[in-house]
Structure 1
């Protein structure tokens, strides 16, 4: 019985991860096709909806572009959207999260669905209005799920900001990273960073990001290091006995 429950829980966990991966793939697909004007429409739409979710203390949630993060042609990879809690009575502003484009689009869809459902249930007796606190909780949960998905897939880096398909494996001196295919193609006609335009004096003036070792490789490396240390400790004793 206990084994059966464990298997069921494990299966549910795998299904949840698979669902999140599918959602992540859809989000990437949306990112590649979205225009800046469409993004601004999403931003205006979610701010309009969130204004309807003010709590009793006068708190509401706003979404705003962090200054300077959308100023390049590769804005989809660099843009950051600030999640701001505002109090209309004190005019106090508090930034609690910075979202990338993928996270923002996921949260927009979730909040949009929640608010529509809440509006449809508005006439029922057990209806609970969505408040600023609930919106912030959704933001927190979604961003934490995004981190968990990255960890479970072994991918803690964002996608390449040029193609949004491959993992960044090249870092320039300015510390901006890209996949090698995109940066090599860019460097054919340009000798600058695609994002900040810092000049690259040498085509070799970049670093390759090595893949993270898997658990087996890590265990073997640790075992090898321990054996080497033990051998070094035994050698002096052998010399003294001779």
Structure 2
């Protein structure tokens, strides 16, 4: 199980990343590719927010998420209740990010 999968298990929200169709067909794909990030409520299946990013923005977000996940797991390994720490901190960070940049 990956680092982010461990932290995301039991979360109410799910982030889905996909390449925007057609944006990767150019020889200059690193410049023109677009990644769509969608926040979905797992229990209802409702899309709560969406954002289109360029490759640089996606890589920065990926680094932020994996860094936060590593920090949460490290913190939870020293805590008496690891489930409480991982769910509350990660949910807050992802929701904050999606709330700032929502296009939908």
Q: 1:109 to 1:140 in 2, by over 3 A?
A: farther
2: CA distance between counterparts of 1:50 and 1:138? Answer: 18
Shift of residue 73 of structure 1?
Answer: 1.2
Q: 1:136 to 1:109 in 2, by over 3 A?
A: same
Matched, 1:136 2:95: yes
Unpaired segments ≥5 residues, structure 1: 1-44, 144-242
Alignment of 1:183-202 (within 5 A): none
Of 34, 40, 48, the residue aligned with 1:86 is 40
Of 96, 104, 121, the residue aligned with 2:58 is 104
TM-score (norm. length: structure 1): 0.33
RMSD, aligned α-carbons = 2.9
Please identify runs of 4+ aligned residues in structure 1 that moved more than 2 A: 50-56, 93-96, 125-133, 138-141
Unpaired segments ≥5 residues, structure 2: none
Shift of residue 140 of structure 1?
Answer: 5.8
Are the aligned partners of 2:7 and 2:72 in contact in 1 as well (CA < 8 Å)?
A: no
Are the aligned partners of 2:39 and 2:48 in contact in 1 as well (CA < 8 Å)?
A: yes
Q: Deviations over 1:140-191 (max 9, x none)?
A: 66x6xxxxxxxxxxxxxxxxxxxxxxxxxxxxxxxxxxxxxxxxxxxxxxxx
1: CA distance between counterparts of 2:96 and 2:23? Answer: 25
2: CA distance between counterparts of 1:51 and 1:120? Answer: 12
Q: Which has the larger radius of gyration?
A: 1
1: CA distance between counterparts of 2:31 and 2:68? Answer: 27
Are the aligned partners of 2:36 and 2:53 in contact in 1 as well (CA < 8 Å)?
A: yes
SS at structure 1 position matched to 2:73: helix
2: CA distance between counterparts of 1:138 and 1:120? Answer: 21
Are the aligned partners of 1:61 and 1:132 in contact in 2 as well (CA < 8 Å)?
A: no
Count, aligned residues: 95
Q: 1:86 to 1:63 in 2, by over 3 A?
A: same
Q: 1:79 to 1:50 in 2, by over 3 A?
A: farther
